[in-house]
Amino acid sequence: MSGLPPLPGNPVAVRLLADRLDATAQRLGALGGVLARLRDGATWDGPAGAAFGARLDEVAPVLDAVGARLGGSATPLRMLADAMGEAQVVVSAAVLDLDEAEHAYAVLEDRVVALIGAGRSEHDPDVLLLRHLQLGQVEAQQVARARHAAAAERFREADRRCATVLRSLSVDGIADALPYRVLVGVSTAGHDLGMLAPVAAVAPELQPVFTVADKAAVVTDAALLVAYHEGDAGQLATAAGLSALGALGGVLRTGATLGAQRTAAGAISTARLTARERVALGVVHEARARRDALRASFQVPPPRGTASSLIGGPSPRSLARGGWTGGFTPAAVAGGFRVGARTAAHRARAAALRRVDKVFLDDWRLATANGPQAQRMYAAGTTLEVAATKTLKPGTGRPDGGRGVTPKAATGPMEGDRSVTLEPGPGHPEGGGNLR
Amino acid sequence: MTTIRVDAAEVAELGVALAETGADLLMMGDPSAERWALGPGEAGPAVDELLGGWRRVRLALGGSLTDLGDAAVDAGALYLDTEAGVSRSLLGGSW
């Protein structure tokens, strides 16, 4: 092995990073365009649209700044990737050349030693020839070293240029202030060290370090909470404007189960998510569900004149609104026609109850796998959904999550009565079947 | 006189897009994960700074977009509900 180091780094990964940043910047730019159209009233012209547009005015400049920061980094990163790839080719070749030259030199030296051992002198023509060939290998080594050094220097220069551009992009109106950076840094380091606390079991002398680190993390977390409003799930959700209890409950319940997967051995957590991330993902999940329900409401056939409505069953529209079809298959409706609507309804209710119970326990297991914080979030979401269901009459106010399941127990997700009543809720685009 | 002209479905779609973008911003991972690819030079810390040095705004923007997205989906649904209710009262439909 030669003494020349390889050039670390991965140009393919750097290009991917540049592509990702570019795509994100373009996406933010496109979103900014849509928001601009909205502000112009093309999509939403009315008092509420104007109020929405006013709030967008605060967001748009920040989106532009983020787009400039991320998008501006793509070109220097791609140039760095090119320089890295080129330098790595040269460096790799130089390392190989040096290895070969050193090996050839060693072989020639062995032959010289053999000749000397056989009684030849240093002035023997054969020995002189070998020494001459060795000089050639030494020159090859010098050339390889020089090429290595030149390639490494070219890369260092490209690295410096890229860093200069990136640093200039980082000096903008959205950069974090120094006190905030210090708090975040201490919090992160404290949590990282705190996670190593079990090591103290085998290295007791480190216990004070872990204890101090964990306390530092807690203190800085508190500072972040108080000074910068980075707090727990409830506060985050409130800050996110999720004022409607039912929606908030659904968001929390969904968020609590994200990042965990069902396996044959039970539920396991596969992603470490913060409370804030869980709330955000829960919002996206709920928003998609409601958007899909809206789409579905435009796609169902008219309620009159269908086989279902002719025999007195529920209209397809009301079923599609809630995405709820359990118990109202054609066969079930025909059966209901024979045995009576009341019996069919009881059967449907019992089936729904079993389904809700299974889904609830399943979700609770996922939340449990995600840890105590997710458990608390799930319990809070369940409680809020129950409160919303009891507060809002069907067909009034904001939909409370008819798309979800809401155990009756308000005291805790694993306690009390989990019985449900099936209550088709007219008036909600997606709330055709409220289960409570 | 108040004039309202709205595409409820488009407003809801916009809400989803806003919420997704907000979540993406909130979920942006640890920038140091990108550092290994850049090698030991100056670009690594610069990328760290570029991607991680706006955490506060990132979290606030992510929260705002999530908030606005939720509101837009809400509004889209309510507009549709209202339209359906008005239609029913005028036409006697069977919603």
Which residue do the tokens 């050094």 mark? Answer: A149
Bridge partners (DSSP) of residue A435 are: A422
How many CB atoms lie under 10 A from the CB of residue A12? 12
Number of domains, chain B: 1
Higher pLDDT, A282 or A11: A11
Please give the pLDDT value at position B5: 72
- B95 located within any domain: no
Q: Does B31 touch chain A (CB under 8 A)?
A: no
- B92 located within any domain: no
- Average confidence (pLDDT) over A380-385: 67
| Whole-number average pLDDT of chain A | 69
Q: Does B29 touch chain A (CB under 8 A)?
A: no
Half-sphere exposure of B32 toward its Cβ, with a 13 Å CA cutoff?
2
Highest mean pLDDT among A45-59, A84-98, A366-380: A84-98
Bridge partners (DSSP) of residue B5 are: A45
For residue B66, the Cα-to-chain-centroid distance in whole angstroms is 5
Count of H helices and E strands in chain A?
Answer: 14, 5
Percent of chain A with pLDDT over 90: 25
- Average confidence (pLDDT) over B11-22: 84
Structure tokens at A123: 């002035």
Kindly determine whether residue B36 and residue A10, on different chains, have CB atoms separated by under 8 Å.
yes
What's the alpha-carbon Rg for chain B, to the nearest Å?
22
Q: Does B81 touch chain A (CB under 8 A)?
A: yes
Q: Does B23 touch chain A (CB under 8 A)?
A: yes
User: In whole angstroms, how far apart are CA A390 and each of A292, A387, A403?
Assistant: 26, 5, 16
Could you report the per-residue pLDDT of A268-280, keeping only the tens digit for each?
A: 766 667 776 777 7
Using CA atoms, how far apart are residues A395 and B12, in angstroms rounded to an integer? 20
- Domain extent, residue B19, equals 8-84
Q: Does B86 touch chain A (CB under 8 A)?
A: no
Percent of chain A with pLDDT over 70: 50
pLDDT surpassing 50 at residue A336? no
From A170, A283, A304, residue closest to B69, measured CB to CB: A283
Structure tokens at A11: 């140009």
- Average confidence (pLDDT) over A304-312: 49
Please give the pLDDT value at position A183: 61
Q: A344: pLDDT confidence band, cut at 50, 70 and 90? A: low
Instruction: For residue A240, give the 3-state DSSP assignment.
Output: coil
Q: A366: pLDDT confidence band, cut at 50, 70 and 90? A: confident
Give the chain B residue whose CA is nearest to the CA of A170.
B50
Could you report the per-residue pLDDT of B28-80, keeping only the tens digit for each?
A: 766 666 778 888 889 999 998 888 888 888 888 888 888 888 888 888 888 88
Q: Does B89 touch chain A (CB under 8 A)?
A: no
The type of residue at B77 is: A
- DSSP characters for B12-77? HHHHHHHHHHHHHHHH---GGGGHHHHTTSSHHHHHHHHHHTTHHHHHHHHHHHHHHHHHHHHHHH
- What sign does the dihedral A372-A378-A379-A384 (CA atoms) show? positive
Using CA atoms, how far apart are residues A370 and A270, in angstroms rounded to an integer? 8
Kindly determine whether residue B54 and residue A184, on different chains, have CB atoms separated by under 8 Å.
no
Q: A242: pLDDT confidence band, cut at 50, 70 and 90? A: very low
Please give the pLDDT value at position A367: 77
* Helix runs in A196-306, H state only: 207-228, 233-239, 245-257, 275-299
| Residue A426 DSSP one-character state | T
- B2 located within any domain: no
The type of residue at A191 is: H
Kindly determine whether residue A240 and residue B66, on different chains, have CB atoms separated by under 8 Å.
yes
Instruction: For residue A433, give the 3-state DSSP assignment.
Output: strand
The type of residue at A316 is: P
- B93 located within any domain: no
How many CB atoms lie under 10 A from the CB of residue A239? 18
Q: Which of A24-28, A372-376, B56-60 comes out lowest in average pLDDT?
A: A372-376
Q: Does B48 touch chain A (CB under 8 A)?
A: no
How many CB atoms lie under 10 A from the CB of residue A100? 15
Give the chain A residue whose CA is nearest to the CA of B79.
A429
Structure tokens at A92: 């790799």
pLDDT surpassing 80 at residue A27? yes
pLDDT surpassing 60 at residue A316? no
What's the alpha-carbon Rg for chain A, to the nearest Å?
34
Confirm if A281 and A273 have CB atoms less than 8 A apart. Answer: yes
Using CA atoms, how far apart are residues A395 and A61, in angstroms rounded to an integer? 39
Q: Is A234 exposed, middle or buried (0-12, 13-18, 19+ CB in 10 A)?
A: middle
Confirm if A102 and A141 have CB atoms less than 8 A apart. Answer: yes
Please give the pLDDT value at position A409: 38
Could you report the per-residue pLDDT of A77-133, keeping only the tens digit for each?
A: 999 999 999 999 999 999 999 999 999 999 999 999 999 999 999 899 999 999 999
Please give the pLDDT value at position A136: 95
- What sign does the dihedral A404-B18-A391-A379 (CA atoms) show? positive
Bridge partners (DSSP) of residue A45 are: B5
Structure tokens at A390: 């009891």
- Average confidence (pLDDT) over A209-221: 55
Structure tokens at A382: 């369940």
Please give the pLDDT value at position A244: 47
pLDDT surpassing 50 at residue A405? no
Kindly determine whether residue A17 and residue B43, on different chains, have CB atoms separated by under 8 Å.
no
Please give the pLDDT value at position A324: 41
Please give the pLDDT value at position A179: 66
From A17, A84, A294, residue closest to B34, measured CB to CB: A17
- B41 located within any domain: yes
